[in-house]
């Protein structure tokens, strides 16, 4: 049995950023990750300007940007047959006026290495949380399986940062408000060649059914399908999927022959939801565990990091002096509830209505919201601010 001031479940962007900030403030903290490493493909790899601002405030920006990445000073979409700028970051009041695309495992490894420099930080990899420890009406820690052995980690505060399928949220019995989703996304990769279009990130196709992210030597391809339609897509055959991709991508059909089989196609089941209450005595959820975001704008990582910064600002002092209470946990939700709800509202506005049988391969016009942005010279700067900074950016204290 181990006693910590804070136990964080999930070594994603929210969990590791919170762990780093708490350890930096002198709070003993353990972060628990069920996987043995960070090497999982097709995770959110967008590092937004407000997250880069946090790295600058920590004095880590130059070292961080020395890692391999691509920079996108703007985002584009094909609207009514032409390429239109839908988000422009050039006027942001930040030190970095671009989105950085970096494999998430590099981002997480960087955070873990920096956190490990503090004596109060501990990262447990390959440990599965199997339940919460609850006593006297409050969560007092977690039960884990480590190398086949069950152990208990007791903590003054347990933080669920374990994603949209959060076991912490489930075990705590937090009530979820489902906002619905009418799409899923198929993620794939194909090679990138020197004569390919220069496009760090862009959307294409008359139905806005495709996103391409420049990964240097390959393209990460996201293809939108109707909710629950993956088995139908598989039934149509891989050759038909390749044709659909080529119809909306600025790449020839033969490039998609590199998708050799269905194991190369990864399904992301899109969800949009949020917990009505993010906490209970002794426990707090942040990031996707508190609010699953749509992939629109790639803002999930940024919201998770901002949650972590706000939580550290509010909780570090009380955790150090032993006064952390439910009032402090409620204060974290109060601080982050508005940007969460506002961002999800914008995401709901940016998606197009689909019937139950609709598929992204059907030629439909983009949402009116996007067409309106594409016709304006000023609105891309506004959307750039909403995507790049968000509704309530957080700043590191101390």
pLDDT band, residue 380 (cuts 50/70/90)? confident
Residue 128 lies in a domain: yes
The verdict on residue 338 lying in a domain is: yes
Could you tell me if residue 157 is inside a domain? yes
**Is residue 381 scored above 50 in pLDDT?**
yes
Report the CATH number that the domain containing residue 132 is assigned in CATH: 3.50.50.60
Structure confidence at residue 358 (pLDDT) = 42
Higher pLDDT pick, 81 / 280: 280
Would you say residue 162 lies in a domain? yes
Please report, rounded to a whole number, the percentage of residues in the chain having pLDDT higher than 90: 62
Q: State the chain's mean pLDDT as an integer.
A: 88
pLDDT for the residue 366? 60
Is 187 a domain residue?
Answer: no
In-domain check, residue 350: yes
Residue 136 lies in a domain: yes
Rounded average pLDDT over 292-317: 91
pLDDT above 50 for 355 = no
Reply yes or no on whether the pLDDT at 140 is more than 60. yes
> HEC string of the chain?
CEEEEEEEECCCHHHHHHHHHHHHCCCCEEEEECCCCCCCCCCCCEECHHHHHHHHHCCCHHHHHCCCCEEECEEEEEECCEEEEEEECCCCCCCCCCEEECCHHHHHHHHHHHHHCCCCEEEEECEEEEEEEEECCEEEEEEEEECCEEEEEEEEEEEECCCCCCHHHHHHCCCEEECCCCEEEEEEEEECCCCCCCCCEEEECCCCCEEEEECCCEEEEEEEEECCCHHHHHHHCHHHHHHHHHHHCCCCHHHHHHCCCHHHCEEECCCCEEECCCEECCEEECHHHCEECCCHHHCHHHHHHHHHHHHHHHHHHHHHHCCCCHHHHHHHHHHHHHHHHHHHHHHHHHCCCCCCCCCCCCCCCCCHHHHHHHCCCCHHHHHHHHHHCCCCCCCCCC
Range of the domain at 348: 2-69+101-179+271-358
Quick one: pLDDT at residue 143?
96
- Greater pLDDT, 220 or 385: 385
Inform me whether the pLDDT recorded for 144 exceeds 80: yes
Average pLDDT on 316-322 reads 95
> Which of 203 and 115 is assigned the larger pLDDT?
115
Binning pLDDT at 50, 70 and 90, where does residue 210 land?
A: confident
The answer to whether position 236 is within a domain reads no
357 pLDDT band (50/70/90 cuts)? very low
- Structural domain total, the chain: 1
């Amino acid at each position: 049995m181990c006693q910590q001031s804070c136990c964080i479940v999930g070594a994603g962007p929210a969990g590791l950023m919170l762990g780093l900030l708490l350890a930096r403030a002198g709070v003993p903290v353990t972060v628990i990750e069920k996987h043995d490493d960070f090497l999982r493909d097709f995770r959110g790899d967008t590092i937004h300007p407000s997250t880069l601002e946090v790295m600058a405030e920590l004095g880590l920006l130059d070292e961080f940007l020395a890692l391999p990445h691509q920079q996108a000073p703007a985002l584009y979409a094909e609207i009514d047959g032409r390429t239109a700028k839908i988000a422009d970051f050039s006027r942001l009041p930040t030190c970095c006026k671009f989105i950085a695309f970096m494999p998430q495992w590099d981002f997480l490894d960087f955070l873990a290495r920096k956190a490990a420099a503090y004596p109060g930080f501990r990262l447990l990899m390959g440990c599965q949380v199997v339940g919460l420890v609850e006593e006297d009406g409050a969560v007092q820690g977690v039960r884990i399986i480590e190398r086949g052995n069950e152990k208990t980690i007791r903590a003054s505060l347990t933080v669920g940062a374990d994603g949209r399928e959060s076991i912490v949220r489930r075990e705590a019995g937090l009530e979820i408000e489902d906002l619905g989703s009418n799409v899923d996304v198929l993620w794939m990769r194909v090679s990138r060649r020197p004569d390919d279009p220069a496009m760090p990130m862009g959307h294409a196709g008359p139905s806005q059914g495709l996103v391409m992210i420049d990964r240097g030597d390959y393209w990460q391809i996201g293809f939108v399908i109707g909710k629950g339609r993956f088995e139908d897509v598989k039934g149509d055959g891989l050759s038909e999927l390749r044709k659909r991709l080529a119809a909306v991508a600025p790449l020839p059909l033969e490039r998609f022959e590199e998708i050799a089989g269905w194991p190369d196609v990864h399904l992301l089941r899109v969800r949009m939801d949020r917990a009505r209450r993010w906490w209970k005595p002794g426990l707090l959820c942040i990031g996707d565990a508190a609010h699953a975001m749509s992939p629109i704008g790639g803002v999930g990582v940024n919201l998770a990091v901002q949650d972590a910064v706000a939580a550290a600002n509010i909780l570090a002092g009380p955790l150090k002096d032993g006064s952390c209470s439910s009032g402090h946990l409620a204060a974290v939700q109060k601080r982050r509830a508005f940007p969460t709800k506002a961002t999800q509202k914008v995401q709901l506005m940016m998606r197009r209505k689909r019937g139950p049988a609709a598929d992204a391969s059907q030629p439909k016009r983009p949402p009116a919201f996007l067409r309106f942005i594409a016709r304006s010279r000023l609105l891309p700067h506004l959307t750039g601010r909403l995507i790049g900074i968000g509704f309530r950016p957080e700043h590191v204290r101390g």
